[in-house]
Amino acid sequence: EVQLVESGGDLVQPGGSLRLSCAASEFTFSSYALSWVRQAPGKGLEWVSTITGSGDTQYYADSVKGRFTISRDNSKNTVYLQMNSLRAEDTAVYYCARRSLQAPRYMDVWGKGTTVTVSS
């Protein structure tokens, strides 16, 4: 079964750092772009970042640019989100999602999410 499993969510203080991981299985990992999408408590879905299959191109939302870094290890079928200088407004459930190969490049497979809480 095609699957994405996130991990690494935790309670962290403002200004702190955290690294999320997303492990993939049962598909050709390096062929697909992967994204992170978050949902803050009581709020809607927010796209955070996308990395291409080769890892050579990354895209970020303005709200996280300069603080978050997306990367991937195709030998481990894993994508990461390094989160630095965390703020209270980064508190959310973070989902990993696979971007489809065909246009219009929708997110066709999702993980169950991992929870990040930024609080003192």
Partner 1 sequence: DIQMTQSPSSLSASVGDRVTISCRASQSIGNYLNWYQKKPGKAPKVLIYAASSLQSGVPSKFSGSGSGTDFTLTISSLQAEDSATYYCQQSYTTPYTFGQGTKVEI
Residues near partner 1, by CB under 8 A: 35, 37, 39, 44-47, 50, 59, 61-62, 95, 97, 100, 103-108, 110-113
Coil vs helix vs strand at 107: strand
Closer to partner 1 by Cβ: residue 13 or 112: 112
CB of 67 to partner 1, least distance (A): 15
Contact 66, 49 (CB under 8 A): no
Closer to partner 1 by Cβ: residue 44 or 66: 44
State how far Cα 28 lies from the chain centre: 18
CB of 120 to partner 1, least distance (A): 26
Closer to partner 1 by Cβ: residue 10 or 46: 46
What is the rounded distance in angstroms from the CA atom of residue 44 to the CA atom of residue 32? 25
CB of 55 to partner 1, least distance (A): 16
At residue 14, φ and ψ (nearest 5 deg) are: -55, 140
* Helix-, strand-, coil-residue percentages of the chain, each rounded to 5: 5, 50, 45
Contact 99, 35 (CB under 8 A): yes
Closer to partner 1 by Cβ: residue 16 or 61: 61
CB of 111 to partner 1, least distance (A): 6
